[in-house]
Amino acid sequence: MEATTVIIFLVALIVSLGFLLLVINLIPAINQLKSLLIDLEKTSSEFRTLTHQLQHIGEKVDSQTEKIGAIIESSKNTVDFVSNAIGMINHNFLKKSAGILAIVPAIRFGWNLVKKRRGGK
């Protein structure tokens, strides 16, 4: 019976030492896990803040996009108006007076010749 008791004590001692070594090795791991959880909580808080800011930026971009759409529509209307005005000028003025406007360079050339003969600039 005495040998059995010694063997049981040795096994208990080995199991106790193994458990002690396991606890000694797990304490730093538990501390690292604790610091990791604290960092994760901080990161989660920062992520929520950044998400909120991103939503705010998204709203600003949407409002600016609507303004840009209005500007583009206004620009299209302006281009249409200018195009119609130029078309009217071309049709009503330039085509009807093309013969008279063709004479303008000739008159200018003649005027320059007359000024040269008189000795003026």
Q: What are the pLDDT digits (tens) for 77-105?
A: 999 999 888 888 777 777 777 777 778 88
pLDDT confidence of 13, banded at 50, 70, 90? very high
CA 90, chain centre distance (Å): 44
- Residue 13 tokens read as 């001692």
119 backbone dihedrals φ, ψ, rounded to 5°: 95, 10
DSSP 8-state class, residue 24? H
pTM over 0.75: no
Alpha helices in the chain (DSSP H): 2-89, 98-118
- Residue 43 tokens read as 């990161």
pLDDT score at 120: 58
